[in-house]
A and B are shown apart, each in its own frame.
Chain A
Amino acid sequence: MGIRLRVSRQTFAVLEALLDQPTQWHHGYALSQQTELASGTLYPILMRLEKAGWLETKWEEAPVPGRPPRHFYRLGGNGREWAREELRAAQTSKFWKPAHGKA
């Protein structure tokens, strides 16, 4: 069971990016480029989503030897549902502004 989160505009951007290809694993740098969020903003959001049980994470060895392993993320089954609900609710709100020029 996940926890209801206080969702900021930046969090919406991350959720949108994760819902783009919901079953695929995303790495941090790609999410950062997609959402245009700096690492200092992105990771606290990912940490919160993970703590709330919305996010699944996994480690993967880097293809180049000697490099550190990479961390991957995707929304879990329930997480996807909750994220879609939050996005729908936000889009009906007059305060909603699409993130990064998305219509």
Chain B
Amino acid sequence: MATMRNSLLSRVAVQSMTWAVRVWPESSREWGMAVLGEMGEITELGAALSWAAGGMLLFLRAMLAQFLQWMKLPVGSGFSGAVLPSPGNGPQFPKHSRLATAVVLLASVTLLFLPMGREAAGTVEASWRGFLPSQGDQRELERVAARAEKEKDARTLAFVALTHPDADRGAHFADQAVTLDPSLTWIYASRYSYRGHGTPMVSAERLKELKKYDPDNAEVYLISAFVAGELVIENAVSKKSTGWEPLADKLARNGEWMKDMEAAFRAPKYDNYFERHQELAREGWKKAPGISPGVIAIGLWAHGIPNMLQIQTYAEIRVKEALETGAAGNIQDAESTLAEVTGLGQRISGAGTIPFERVVGLGLMKRGMEGYEKLYRASGRTKEADEVREQLGEVESSMEARIHSYIGWREGIVQGLRWKAVLFQGAAMLSLLLAMAIGLSLVVIETSAAIGRKGSGWLRRAICEFIDYGPVALLVTSAIFLWSSRPIAAVFEQYRSGELKQGEALGFFWEFFTLGTLSPAPYFSEPYHEWLLATIVLVGLGVFVVVRALLRPRAHEAGGERA
């Protein structure tokens, strides 16, 4: 039988009980002392340990009882100063107990932890960060990717590749996805524009694979040309030679760029893969709903579309070349060169998924047709020139109509979203401010209780008032925040379920970024304005609480009694 004497365990047991008795709540401390008093009489080690364990259990119960009693007292009051709020000269306390305050605060927090609340909070937080992906988003994407790697799920890996904010990680997952399923090679085209200035957008090997994968698609050659031309353009911009002619000359001297552009203008089809990207994003988001909408929007927003400046530059080179060929008397060659320009314009305007892209397509057609008109007039073929002029007029009207309809459509989305977003942002901001102010007030009043400074000055009165009404206000603003997030949540849900039309989804995600700039006042569109507004709201709230607190004692003096 193990004896108690000189055993390390027994000493630990006695020391633990001695410590517990020292911090034991005063109201039941004698029972702790009673347990401790017996320990000296127990000689068997096992019995002593069991006795001490029972004592510790008793200690925990006593602490819990003490905590519950403390929770029932008004915020800021201790057991020694457990006086109820009085209108007289005594210390001032909030009317409500800690328990009531905690319940209301817990209700607010619960609202924000509902799936809808989490999505709303994630959305507004992403908009305040300017939609830059957070560390949490990156971790979630890595987690999704790890699972997909294990399950050899190529489509999910491709989704992560197109959504991951880190270019290198994105490329890594893209390679894995393509290795598992070569039909996903198109994702190389979607991610090509992720890199910063002066660095290669997409490796030569991936470009080669892309060309092998979809040799009839102008998009793959346009991307290849963009990669080759990017450095030329950057150099031109840095040397401030931004005019068209020096830039065009520089690009025209780049053989690789010219070769890719030529292939692009001759390719029989145009597909920028955006629809496939959207489908992948939809699938991936359904599988990983924890990813913030901001990250999904960023992934779609960053989808690579051909560089329109380079396309136009090449078109200008070709039109110029056609006119020179025509002037030299070779009209047929000139016509076929111009046909390449109008042909690509037609394909882009017909198959482009982005309104701006379609307008650029029409612009290319227009440029080519202008070339035709000049060519025919210069060669005396007035009738054909007039016919082209007529068609040109149609293209111009179509362009104008598309621009206007695009502006109207965009305005419609912005207007439809504005006030919903203003309410959403306003409720979020107010909730955040209230939460911070409540947290600060609780710390101040509990700290003052702990250090024994209980006063009845105007500041204390104001804090007490705020602690009484702030949590309820927070609950109300949290509920409004959740309610105001419904239209936005509905759009996300429609997007995930595929109910949202392609154009609408695209438009929404485009305008989604305006959420961040929409602030509680229509003229507040910059981050510093939002902080200014936040300060105004906070000061206003403070003034209200102070005025209310100052007016209250007068009511008492006039014979009124605190409820």
Q: Which residues of A contact B (CB under 8 A)?
A: 27-29, 32, 38-44, 46-47, 62, 64, 67-71
Tell me whether A71 and B34 are in contact in the complex, defined as CB-CB below 8 angstroms, given that A29-B42, A62-B40, A64-B40 are known contacts: yes
- Which of B38, B50, B58, B61 contacts A70, CB < 8 Å? B38
- Collect the chain A residues with CB atoms within 8 Å of residue B36's CB: 68
Counting residue pairs across A and B whose Cβ atoms lie within 8 Å, the total is: 64
- Collect the chain B residues with CB atoms within 8 Å of residue A44's CB: 58, 61
Q: In the complex, what residue of chain B is closest to A33 when comparing beta carbons?
A: B47
- Which of A27, A41, A69 contacts B54, CB < 8 Å? A41
Contact between A71 and B30 (Cβ–Cβ < 8 Å)? yes
- Collect the chain A residues with CB atoms within 8 Å of residue B54's CB: 38-43
- Which of B31, B42, B55 contacts A47, CB < 8 Å? B31
Contact between B42 and A71 (Cβ–Cβ < 8 Å)? no
Tell me whether A43 and B34 are in contact in the complex, defined as CB-CB below 8 angstroms, given that A29-B51, A38-B50 are known contacts: yes
Tell me whether A71 and B37 are in contact in the complex, defined as CB-CB below 8 angstroms, given that A44-B58, A47-B28, A47-B31 are known contacts: yes
Complex Cα–Cα for A55 and B295 (A): 68
Q: In the complex, what residue of chain A is closest to B41 when comparing beta carbons?
A: A29
Q: Which positions 24-39 of chain B face chain A at CB distance < 8 Å?
A: 28, 30-31, 33-38
Q: Which residues of B contact A (CB under 8 A)?
A: 28, 30-31, 33-38, 40-42, 50-51, 53-55, 57-58, 61
5 nearest CB pairs, A to B: A39-B54, A40-B54, A71-B34, A40-B57, A67-B40
- Collect the chain A residues with CB atoms within 8 Å of residue B61's CB: 44
A86 to chain B, nearest CB (A): 23
- Collect the chain A residues with CB atoms within 8 Å of residue B37's CB: 27-28, 62, 67-71
B24 to chain A, nearest CB (A): 12
B10 to chain A, nearest CB (A): 14
- Collect the chain B residues with CB atoms within 8 Å of residue A70's CB: 34, 37-38, 41
Q: In the complex, what residue of chain A is closest to B57 when comparing beta carbons?
A: A40
Complex Cα–Cα for A20 and B399 (A): 106
- Collect the chain B residues with CB atoms within 8 Å of residue A32's CB: 51
The interface residues of chain A, by DSSP majority, are classed as: helix
Complex Cα–Cα for A70 and B36 (A): 8
B191 to chain A, nearest CB (A): 63
- Which of A27, A43, A69 contacts B58, CB < 8 Å? A43
- Which of B31, B40, B41 contacts A43, CB < 8 Å? B31
Q: In the complex, what residue of chain A is closest to B18 when comparing beta carbons?
A: A68
Complex Cα–Cα for A28 and B37 (A): 9
- Collect the chain A residues with CB atoms within 8 Å of residue B38's CB: 27-29, 39, 70-71
- Collect the chain B residues with CB atoms within 8 Å of residue A62's CB: 37, 40
- Collect the chain B residues with CB atoms within 8 Å of residue A27's CB: 37-38, 41
- Which of B40, B41, B51 contacts A39, CB < 8 Å? B51
Residue picked from A28, A41, A62, A68, most chain B C-beta under 10 Å: A68
B17 to chain A, nearest CB (A): 10
- Which of A39, A41, A64, A67 contacts B35, CB < 8 Å? A39
Complex Cα–Cα for A59 and B473 (A): 53
- Collect the chain A residues with CB atoms within 8 Å of residue B50's CB: 38-39
Known contacts A40-B58, A41-B54, A70-B38; 4 further A-B pairs (Cβ under 8 A): A40-B57, A68-B37, A69-B33, A71-B38
- Collect the chain B residues with CB atoms within 8 Å of residue A40's CB: 53-55, 57-58
A and B contact pairs by CB, cutoff 8 A, 21 listed: A27-B38, A28-B35, A29-B51, A38-B50, A38-B51, A38-B53, A39-B50, A40-B57, A41-B54, A43-B34, A44-B58, A44-B61, A62-B40, A68-B37, A68-B40, A70-B41, A71-B30, A71-B31, A71-B33, A71-B34, A71-B37
